[in-house]
Structure 1
Amino acid sequence: MRQLLWLRSDLRVHDNRALSAAMSAGPTVALYLVSPGQWQAHDDAPCKIDFWRRNLLELAGELAQLNVPLLVRRVDTWRQAPQAISALCERLQIGSVQANEEYGVNETRRDQAVDQALQRLGVAFRRHLDQLLLPPGSVLTRSGGYFQVFSQFRKVCLQRLLDRSPALQPKPRAQAPLPLASDPLPAAFDGLPGVDAALAAYWPAGEAVASARLQDFIDTQIDDYHAQRDLPARPGTSQLSAYLACGVLSPRQCLGAALNANQGELDSGRQGVATWINELLWREFYKHILVGFPRVSQHRAFRAETEALPWRDAPDELAAWQQGRTGFPLIDAAMRQLLATGWMHNRLRMLVAMFLSKHLLLDWRAGERWFMQHLIDGDLAANNGGWQWSASTGTDAVPYFRLFNPISQSQRFDPHGRFIRHWLPELAALSERDIHNPAALGGLLAPPGYPAPIVDLGVGRTRALQAFRDLPRH
């Protein structure tokens, strides 16, 4: 019988388990649901939604080579997904729906509702592991619970991956043509703000681009990854997160490329490779946390006692942080990088998150939401995990008394001020010493147009430490 491939965050034909399973089972038709109301509810960034659209255009061409028609249906939110999919199954006489697993409370509820609707039609709903190397529930403590400490989780993952590295699925062979035409894809999704062409140019779409970026990183940069990844002025990171987030690239492809470059070694051999694999496992860890502790996808702190933190209401300070006008150059350069490119260097994500949640004592959820509204690689698990780590409200989080000082971080990781000068041209004339802390020059010598610091770092630190010390102990 015919198979319906329900595409979600898996916009590729290589190593796509749901696609392979569907085409092995019978003639396959692909479906993509456009759901603007759901995207808005999830605070998905316009640049991210446009990236999905551009990748969907590329995928349509790949599917056409496989003779797989691509249908597009519009539902406002996922509540309409069961009805839309059921109607399509009835019209096309679908025997089973194949999809790759997604995680999070809303995704789980959506899939449960679709499963129930399909059961009433006698249509099977088959889901496959895609976003992860190891399925949630397969990496557990001796007592049967989900790991809450990364180092322990990592140790078990490495052992499992050493025993059996996940296999890659090849691109399927083309099927016989079907008497069904693909739907035209829109030049833009209606009702969503436009995306700056310069921003989109940072992130060309398609599997071929993602694969080339991965291979270039492996060939030319990964050996220095451990030494360069904290320097925002240098191209020391892979910048593959956007392609992983929408499934143009799979974690298995990333791991396979790393292992091929490291003679099969996971935790030894070339240090840069081992360090990058470690980062892949952090991504894995936060997705497992999402499944094991659903509250983190419901705007709640992992550490329940931190819900009592006395977050300040300071909208002007929040706005200054959002727009890169805090008076701390590395903070401001990072925030302007986010606004201009839809991406931010990982160390800077930690720095700006600590600054907001600790030096300003503003609720981490406001920062988490701002990131999702602007990140092209916005991913619920990684974004929430990173914010709660920085705010000391999450699992295996940084100790509450650890605060990154934005001035010393700037001096250490952007010593020549190259990153700052790129994003803050108003400070370009300052010396390598002064560019990290223009306020120290005094009012008359400070660069015109650049704001004074919005907080005294010592005062902010003391306030944050006291707030955490005053939390009730259980």
Structure 2
Amino acid sequence: MSNQQSTGRHLVWFRTDLRVHDNPALYHAMTTAQSQAQQVLAVYFVTPEQWRQHGLGERKIRLMQNAVHNLKQALAERGVELLVLHAGTFNHSLQLLQQLVLELDIRHISFNNEYEVNECKRDILCYRWANIHQVNVHRFHDQCLIPPGAVLTKTNLPFKVYSPFRKAWLAQAERQLSAPLPSPAALQQPSSTTSTTWQQILTEPLRRALTLTDQCPDARWFDDESSAHHALHNFLQQQGRHYHQRRDFPALDATSQLSTALSLGLLSPRQCLFAASQANQGLLAGGTAGLDSWINELTWREFYRHLLVACPDLCKHQAFKPETERVKWRDAEADFQAWCDGRTGYPIVDAAQQQLLTTGWMHNRLRMVSAMFLSKHLLIDWRRGEAFFNQYLVDADLASNNGGWQWSASTGADGVPYFRIFNPTTQSQRFDADGQFLIRYLPQLTSLPATSRHQPNAFERQQTGYPDAIVDHAFARQRALNAFKALKQENPTDE
């Protein structure tokens, strides 16, 4: 953080933190400005070319744009104008940011850190430029409760296994978890600092980059902060206490489905963890079993972010376990397309894929089933599945998506042993016994008895028009085992 100036305008740079409550960068800028009678401006860069390079899908991008529209209104109510600029790429956004800072005599830039490689590079370049131009940069952690790099082993190394990470993380979190920051009080600014005035004093290049915000609501997913808070409260009061018992059953409305709000930054991890602990007798562990279980899921989210910082190659499509780069993945385009479309002939896999394609979301148990089917049954590179999920998930998030895929494919940190291969049929029978989830997304199976829906016989498939299985489970399992065993035969010293 640079401290060369103490006066002048403040600029808050929004990214994946599209909220006014518990937003450290916004809170710092507004409270500081309020105490010194200074002005605050906010900016958000629309970067569609960068988003496409990162593989984000249109539905997630639309939700982001909706959330920005809602944020703009919330900030206006607090006396802060949000300028939305079309930048294309991160590099272009830096150029526009520099122009904005110079033209409006910004002396303070505040933002919350992002941890991916491209984002980190962008922020380092911003800091270096600002330092040269004697502009203060105030950076904050808000995507994790405990900053990445602060939870280490006794030998000061990052954890690579979840259980000891969780133990160390809990020890710190129990000491550091505090109430979320409130929404800053509205600024009392002179009437001359209206949005029209800000725009009028910009030069033509910046004025051309200004883009209007609009809203095209998604019928299934909310995109505003108020709805996110309401959903969090309802989950903790209703489903949360039974979460450990019901979370694995996809036909039930038993999960929080707050991952989308977290990925957009409508909620912060601290808000979720604090609210959960308050509902859990003030505890992060050792309270109600259901709430303990949900907090554990939030801790997995933290673990994957810490890994991303400790192992930046994860952002570059590299396996966490280097030896698994030698797995001989199959080049089987027809099989991959059948998996994408939900035409594998395994009902639980196909229903999961249809849920993703239809709603933009997939139940967590089914994410594991689907990912393991592609990487183990079909022996297709996990990276292809990761990219597909990233394109269609409204909660698309690099750290969690990559972590989940590498866990399932046995290439990641604390992943399942390579010989653990889910049987899709038994998973279906165990977690959707009467096939209610199956027929929700595969209505052609409705006429079949509940027990037949998990694995229709040849006659039932012909009768309903449901496709044959594209691979036999026993054959596929052995093929995957052979592929991973071959790694040890090539290099017996591999662990």
Aligned-pair CA distance for 1:15: 0.4
Aligned-pair CA distance for 1:443: 4.1
Q: Are 1:343 and 1:375, in contact at CA under 8 Å, matched by a contact in 2?
A: yes
Greater CA drift, 73-82 or 421-430:
73-82
Q: Are 1:336 and 1:423, in contact at CA under 8 Å, matched by a contact in 2?
A: yes
SS at the partner of 2:453?
helix
**Do residues 20 (structure 1) and 32 (structure 2) align?**
no
**Do residues 215 (structure 1) and 263 (structure 2) align?**
no
Q: How many residues align?
A: 463
Counterpart amino acid of residue 253 in structure 2: P
Alignment of 1:33-112 (within 5 A): 33-112=45-124
Partner residue, 1:118? 130
Q: Are 1:67 and 1:176, in contact at CA under 8 Å, matched by a contact in 2?
A: yes
Residues in 2 aligned to 1:323 and 1:442: alpha-carbon distance in whole angstroms = 21
Residues in 2 aligned to 1:444 and 1:109: alpha-carbon distance in whole angstroms = 56
Partner residue, 2:3? none
Partner residue, 2:455? 437
Change in CA separation of 1:94 and 1:398 when aligned onto 2, cut-off 3 Å: same
Residues in 2 aligned to 1:67 and 1:405: alpha-carbon distance in whole angstroms = 56
Change in CA separation of 1:363 and 1:421 when aligned onto 2, cut-off 3 Å: same
Counterpart amino acid of residue 416 in structure 1: D
Partner residue, 1:137? 149
Residue in structure 1 matching 2:387, options 359, 369, 380 = 369
Partner residue, 1:192? none
**Do residues 455 (structure 1) and 471 (structure 2) align?**
yes
Partner residue, 1:8? 15
Q: Are 1:82 and 1:117, in contact at CA under 8 Å, matched by a contact in 2?
A: no
SS at the partner of 1:433?
helix
Alignment of 1:273-352 (within 5 A): 273-352=291-370
Runs of 4+ in structure 1 deviating by more than 3 angstroms, as ranges, are 443-448
Unaligned runs of 5+ in 2: 1-7, 34-38, 197-209
Q: Are 2:180 and 2:270, in contact at CA under 8 Å, matched by a contact in 1?
A: yes
Residues in 2 aligned to 1:105 and 1:394: alpha-carbon distance in whole angstroms = 18
Q: Are 1:81 and 1:114, in contact at CA under 8 Å, matched by a contact in 2?
A: no
Q: TM-score under structure 1 normalisation?
A: 0.96
Tell me how large the CA RMSD over aligned residues is. 1.3
Residues in 2 aligned to 1:62 and 1:187: alpha-carbon distance in whole angstroms = 14
Partner residue, 1:418? 436
Aligned-pair CA distance for 1:45: 1.6
Residues in 2 aligned to 1:360 and 1:120: alpha-carbon distance in whole angstroms = 53
Aligned-pair CA distance for 1:93: 0.7
Residues in 1 aligned to 2:473 and 2:359: alpha-carbon distance in whole angstroms = 28
Unaligned runs of 5+ in 1: 189-194
Greater CA drift, 167-176 or 280-289:
167-176
Counterpart amino acid of residue 466 in structure 1: N
Partner residue, 1:191? none
Q: Are 2:68 and 2:213, in contact at CA under 8 Å, matched by a contact in 1?
A: no
Residues in 1 aligned to 2:212 and 2:64: alpha-carbon distance in whole angstroms = 12
SS at the partner of 2:294?
helix
Partner deviation per Cα, 1:34-56 (whole Å, 9 max, x = no partner) = 00100000001211111111111
SS at the partner of 1:470?
helix
Q: Are 2:458 and 2:468, in contact at CA under 8 Å, matched by a contact in 1?
A: no
Residue in structure 1 matching 2:246, options 228, 233, 256 = 228
Q: Are 1:68 and 1:177, in contact at CA under 8 Å, matched by a contact in 2?
A: no
Q: TM-score under structure 2 normalisation?
A: 0.92
Give the fraction of aligned pairs with identical amino acids, expressed as a percent. 47
